[in-house]
Structure 1
Amino acid sequence: MIDTLISGRLRGAPSFRTASNGTPFASFRMAAADRNGVSVLCSCITFSATACAAVKALEDGDSLAVSGEAELKTWNGSDGAQRLGLDVLVHCVMTAYHQGRKRKSAGNDAAGGDDHG
């Protein structure tokens, strides 16, 4: 297990289901670039209600960052070439929407007031 923080773009629509024990979860894929600019596919799953809600608001191509536990994965592509990827058990999702809310909140805190007049 590798603790990870990955930023990238959502690829495709997330899938929302319920496990056999009744726990709701989301699975989705994201693409992140390595240091050479090569796209690495990350297969993500989350059982966190807040992470599920964050992913539900996203569309294909939207930027996001996830933190969680990663495991390296390899497979052979249709052309026979070896591919690399990550399986990620996501604990937390951050999007541009969340970052904007945090900045707005920090600005209000710095001013010593709130939105309620």
Structure 2
Amino acid sequence: MIDGLVGGRLYGEAQIRTGQNGKRFVTCKVRATTNDGDTIFVNVIAFDDEVQTALLALSDADSVALSGALTPKVWTDKNGLIKPAVDMVAHKVLVGYRGES
């Protein structure tokens, strides 16, 4: 397991799901940019109630930073190219909320 911090933008909307044990969790994707300008997708799952609430409050393309356990992966796109990806079990979230006056 790798502990890490990932910053990027939410890709789509966070989704509520229910496990076989009846417990709720939230999944989402975060699009992060690497140092060389490439994009990497982070597949996020959150079991913590506070993290779930924060992710569900976000909209597509909102900025987010997450810390948690990372697992590197690869996937194949429709052109047959192998691309990197990361799975994350999110433990903490940092989001920028708009203030209302």
TM-score (structure 2 length as normaliser): 0.93
Give the gaps of 5 or more residues in structure 2. none
Q: Match of 1:7? A: 7
Select the structure that is richer in strand. 2
Q: Match of 1:46? A: 46
Tell me which amino acid in the other structure corresponds to 1:25.
F
1:74-114 CA deviation, whole Å, 9 max, x = no partner?
1211101111000001111110129x8xxxxxxxxxxxxxx
* Distance (whole Å) between structure 1 residues aligned to residue 29 and residue 7 of structure 2: 12
Equivalent residues in 2 for 1:46-65, closer than 5 Å: 46-65=46-65
> Cα RMSD between the aligned structures?
1.4
Q: Match of 1:115? A: none
Q: Match of 1:109? A: none
Number of aligned positions between the proteins: 99
Tell me which amino acid in the other structure corresponds to 2:23.
T
Give the gaps of 5 or more residues in structure 1. 101-117
Sequence identity percentage: 34
TM-score (structure 1 length as normaliser): 0.81
Q: Which has the higher contact order (CA 8 A, sep 6+)?
A: 2
Structure 1 stretches of 4+ with a deviation exceeding 3 A read: none
Tell me the SS of whatever aligns to 2:51: helix
* Distance (whole Å) between structure 2 residues aligned to residue 59 and residue 20 of structure 1: 27
Tell me which amino acid in the other structure corresponds to 2:61.
G
Tell me which amino acid in the other structure corresponds to 1:77.
D
Tell me the SS of whatever aligns to 1:54: helix
- Structure 1 residue 18 corresponds to structure 2 residue 18: yes
